[in-house]
Structure 1
Amino acid sequence: MPRRSATMLAATLLLIGLLCASVLMRVPYTEMSPGPTFNTLGEQKSGEPVISISGRPTYPTSGHLNMTTVQVTGAKYEPSLVSAVIGWLRHDVLVVPHDNVYPQGQTDKEAQQENAEQFASSEDSAKTAALGQLGIPVGTEVIVSSVVAGGPSEGRLHAGDQIVAVDGTTVTGKEQVAALVTKHKPGETVEFTVVPHARASATPAAADEHKVAVTTGKASDGRAIVGILPGTDHTYPFTIDIGLQDVGGPSAGLMFSLGIIDKLTPTDLTGGRFVAGTGTIADDGAVGPIGGIQMKLIAARDKGAQYFFTPSENCPEAVQGTPSGLTLVKVDNLAGALKALDSIRSGQNAALPACPR
């Protein structure tokens, strides 16, 4: 065989080998893509409202205040090198290192549990921030945040139980619980007055309270312990239910707060416009950054959004991939988001705080 032909054959075989290897080779990356969006003023597929309020007058709303989501491949998914390269080239797929999404070998189940906890926490903060913005008092209560497996309280106290008193002393702060427990010696009994999580409400009746005796264990430093982590929870003067299912993470907090405020005030916040957005929310109304911002922008625009509320820390990334026809609105806190809605409603787009380019 002529040398030139042999060289071409060898090069062809090498190329074929490299292509096969690139198809078979798995790389440690995860893919994100635009997920569904949900109008916090609207209904779920079941026909139930996304946000329902009872015990307080509510008002008609119009337009959209959509929360946005990102779809993520599972913890066990390992794309081929070819798939990863194709993902990098597409505008509607974000390829990121696997450990950025599933740290330290986290499983799908562990990720789902973490996302569910973050979502529940964001719901609570969204309610607290919204009512705080409206000047409606929000109370607090001490609860059992978690129970140590195999500890003295396992099977006797449960996560979510409200702690009313310890040894007859009324509890007003989570720090009191440890202080009252450590007055005992290991092996002694501590009496908790609790309202079980299943029956707890904003205003639990005295009949719901019952006493639970826990025999203390011994910590490594000799202190008496009962094997619980006390925490605090908010109580509200009326019922606010956020009914979305199969959605996780903390990034819907801002849009939930806006949806709650819109339902509780006579002003139609959007004026019929289609507003979407994202961002965590703190109890004081501060808005924090989230992940997957570019995928959320695509999801919002595909649904018809005209404006997108963007946490200020996400602005540098957001401006790099803003879909045509979508106006980014920089948001630092809940009050700023409401002011921006005032401008949108009145058609004063020039007054909107923009993400710097």
Structure 2
Amino acid sequence: MALFTDESSEMGGSTRRRGGRKGWIVLAVALVAGVSLGIVPSPYVIEQPGPVFNTLGTAPNADDVETPLIQIDGEPVYPTKGTLDLLTVSLFGNQENRPGWLAVAAAWLDPSKAVIPVDQAFPANVTTEQRDTQNQTAMVNSQQDAIAAALTNLDYEYPSTVTVADVPDGSPAAELLVVGDVVTSVDGTTVGNITELRAALQVLGADAPVSVGIIRDGVALTESVTPIVNAGNVVLGISVTTNYEFPFTVKLELDRVGGPSAGMMFALGIIDKLTPGELQGGARVAGTGTIDQTGAVGPIGGIQQKLYGATDAGASWFLAPADNCDEVTGHIPDGLTVFSVATLDDALAALDVIRTGGDPESLPSCPTK
């Protein structure tokens, strides 16, 4: 019996040792797999909430000096309180440095982040320099449109012109239009801003030549250009900027952000500074949306990340473009009330409700579910 007991005990110990070795092997394999997943680049990048800037406050300029985001000279400016926050989205990763699979998996589980194909964020046929230039041009144009929208809303009068900023190779306007040309008309329809140019082209359609009236070096000319359809819009294949002659100086300072999505919040900030009192009653309000000279508010990207960015910054109120409501519904963080705005007047009405303590349900909103 003693022999049997000893052998049995020895065999059990051997089994445990073999089981222990297998456990360590499994653990080692799992650790190697985990490390590999963390290192091996994925074909994705991650969108996440970026910095928040109060248009009524200051931000570091290119020299890291705190500078007011909105500076107005030549017109009375009134004190403001609270915030009118513009929101940004930052990207983690690019074509050269893509996030690993573990980071992507964590982002999939985080409602404040979004995982998108790297080629969608960084198209292979667009260089980093071209992308940065496009974003910066969009920001400059949106800032000018924000000033125009605010001054139009306040009944200031000013002239404007549309100027060619870039003519890419292969464009239907190549060798016909050049940088610096001032576009004055399309098939006889006068255009004084980008909105009017787009509207005229949409009416005319693509694939048939149109007469484009321009002023080049002070000389009036006409060129025949055949528009094309790009992303559902009829275009001449050029980048343009609207040049406004405002009755006083409005300078918008935001060096490290690109794209057009800050337009509406800049317009509201300008109006707040040019009018007595506080538009939002001193509350913390955040929002996003493009804007044009007429005050029309347009959709933007990364709306869900901006909702969480607003909450993280302490905002209780959010102004969202009406055309983004389908992306907002079901993704509103707790404690955040979202107004749906299609125009600058809609946004001002929402701020009035916040200021006066009115009923938020009296205005359009993005459903919570």
Q: TM-score surpassing 0.5?
A: yes
Are 1:125 and 2:125 an aligned pair? no
Establish whether residue 64 from structure 1 lines up as the match of residue 74 from structure 2: no
For 2:89, the aligned partner's letter is: V
* 1:195-274 equivalences in 2 (<5 Å): 231=240, 233-235=242-244, 236-274=246-284
Structure exhibiting the larger radius of gyration computed from Cα positions: 2
Q: Deviations over 1:3-58 (max 9, x none)?
A: x9699898777656644543343211011221111111112233321111112222
Scaled by the length of structure 2, the TM-score of the pair is 0.71
Give the 3-state SS of the residue equivalent to 1:114 in structure 2: helix
How many residues end up aligned between the 2 structures?
A: 315
2:345 paired residue among 326, 331, 335: 335
Question: Which amino acid is the alignment partner of residue 261 of structure 1?
Answer: I
Match of residue 348 from structure 1: 358
Once the two structures are aligned, what percentage of the paired residues are identical? 39
1:63-103 alpha-carbon deviations (Å, 9 max, x no partner):
11110111112422212222211121223332211122112
**1:134 offset after TM fit, Å?**
1.6
* 2:44 is aligned with 1:29: yes
Contact 1:310 1:328 in 2 (8 A): yes
CA contact (8 A) 2:93 2:99 kept: no
Partners of 1:74 and 1:108 within 8 A in 2: no
Alpha-carbon distance in structure 2 between the residues aligned to 1:101 and 1:246? 18
Q: Secondary structure at the match of 2:345?
A: helix
Task: For residue 160 of structure 1, report the CA deviation from its aligned partner.
Answer: 5.2
Q: Give the conservation status (yes or no) of the 8 Å contact 2:55–2:265.
A: yes
SS of the residue aligned with 1:103? Answer: coil
Q: 1:172–1:34: structure 2 CA closer, same or farther, 3 Å change rule?
A: closer
Matched, 1:318 2:328: yes
Given residue 322 of structure 2, which amino acid in structure 1 is its aligned partner?
A: S
Question: What amino acid is aligned across from residue 115 of structure 1 in structure 2?
Answer: N
Secondary structure in 1 aligned to 2:124?
helix
2:232 matched residue in structure 1 = none
Q: Distance in 1 between matches of 2:109 and 2:309?
A: 18
1:87 aligns with 2:107: yes
Task: Tell me the amino acid that sits aligned with residue 80 of structure 2.
Answer: T
Q: Distance in 1 between matches of 2:38 and 2:323?
A: 37
Structure 1 residue 282, shift from structure 2 partner? 2.1
Determine helix, strand or coil for the equivalent of 1:126. helix
Alignment of 1:44 onto 2:55: no
Q: How many angstroms apart in 2 are the aligned matches of 1:229 and 1:26?
A: 36
TM-score by structure 1 length? Answer: 0.74
CA distance in 1, matches of 2:239, 2:101: 47
Q: Residues of 2 paired with 1:92 and 1:51: CA distance?
A: 29
1:278 correspondence with 2:288? yes
Please give the secondary structure, in 2, of the residue aligned with 1:234: strand
Cross-structure match for 1:154: none
1:259: how far off? 0.7
Q: Deviations over 1:169-188 (max 9, x none)?
A: xx99799xx8789xxxxxxx
